[in-house]
Amino acid sequence: MSQRVLILAPDNDFHALSIQALLRGRGADADIVDTARFPESLVLVQRGGASTEVLLDGKPLSGYHSVWWRRPHPPTPPAEVKVPEERRFASREAREALWGAIHAAGLPIYNSPQAEARAGYKPYQLRVAQECGLRVPETLITNSAEEVAAFRERHPRVVYKAFSATTLAMTDTRPLSEGDLPDLWRLRYAPVIFQEYVELGREYRVTLVEDAAFAVEITLQHPAAHYDWRIDPDYRIAPAEVPPAIVEGLQRVRRALELNSGSADLRETPEGEIYFLEINPSGQFLFLDVFAGMDVGNPFCDMLLQ
């Protein structure tokens, strides 16, 4: 009987579909389950007593080798549940039932959702990176305009970024300009991350899959993107060598955050100093295979099948 992986992800997730294809090419298999379908069209059954049995749409979870927690959407109550408090209650109940049942099945989960959630807190991961010996930019996290003004006095070039993504707009890293200062009162609505600007020499993305590390250098084509390479539609990537001490520091961060995998962003100054910017516990990684000719997908499959 072939090994089968349960992938919790939206149906159209590129990484989920690609890893599913790779697994099938290796004689294993995978099912992609969109958890946003629960409870309206995805059926959960958990039976317990002397033993525990968990089924999703009639398939016992005991038939799976592992679970890949690939950015699953939260359970979504049917649209006809319109009263706000009823909808919040239904969401909580569905989340408790589904996430609890998946954990009750006793399968290894990559990454642990609890570890992913904790590692996703940028203030926490910056502290962990610092403790693991990596260089971190001077950082201010605040909702105080006065603190930002004082920080800018100490660091003439400052960038700012959001804690999370939104469908409203791209939350790219941006420079804090003179024209932004009159709007700092808006911090009362939400805090922001401010950091000293790290002069760009070279930019790296390092993907960690357990003890393996895959590094690429990102070369920008548009100068305006030097604050955030993601806004450059023509960026190029190529395999790169990152100093072993930096890779080991990243691995210490991964282990401290209790992650199996993650994607870290680094920036090297013209003087050769390498700064840790952030680690994404469920970051995109297959673009290394597509555009840099690397092979991250197969080691990732190895992890899911170990």
For the chain, give every domain's residue range: 4-110, 117-121+200-305, 138-196
Residue whose C-alpha is closest to residue 75's, from 63, 93, 58, 59: 93
Q: What CA–CA distance (Å, rounded) separates 214 from 209?
A: 8
Q: pLDDT (tens digit, 9 = 90+) per residue, 108-117?
A: 999 999 999 9
CA distances for 90 relative to 36, 77, 84, angstroms: 13, 6, 10
Instruction: State the Cα torsion 286-126-198-144 to the nearest 10°.
Output: 120
pLDDT band at 226 (very low <50, low <70, confident <90, very high): confident
Angle at 88 between CA 84 and CA 92, to 5 degrees: 170
CATH of 4-110 among 1.20.120, 3.30.460, 3.40.50, 3.40.630: 3.40.50
**Range 37-55 average pLDDT:** 93
Residues forming a β-bridge with 56: 44, 59
Residue count of the chain: 306
pLDDT for 1: 60
The percent of the chain in helix, strand and coil, each rounded to the nearest 5, is 35, 25, 35
Identify which has the larger pLDDT, 222 or 28.
28
Tell me: pLDDT of 46 over 90: yes
Tell me: pLDDT of 170 over 80: no
pLDDT for 232: 86
Output the DSSP codes for 52-69: -EEEETTEEGGG-SEEEE
CATH of 138-196 among 1.20.1260.10, 3.30.1490.20, 1.10.287.130, 1.10.580.10: 3.30.1490.20
pLDDT for 165: 81
pLDDT for 224: 78
What residue has token string 């038939």?
Answer: 63
At 238, the amino acid letter reads: A
CATH of 117-121+200-305 among 3.30.470.20, 3.90.1170.50, 1.10.1740.10, 1.10.357.10: 3.30.470.20
pLDDT for 254: 98
Residue whose C-alpha is closest to residue 282's, from 268, 300, 266, 294: 300
- Measure CA 293 to chain center: 22
Helix (H, G, I), strand (E, B) or coil at 292: helix
**Range 269-287 average pLDDT:** 96
Average per-residue pLDDT for the chain: 95
pLDDT band at 90 (very low <50, low <70, confident <90, very high): very high
First to last CA, the chain: 15
pLDDT for 223: 81
**Range 213-232 average pLDDT:** 88
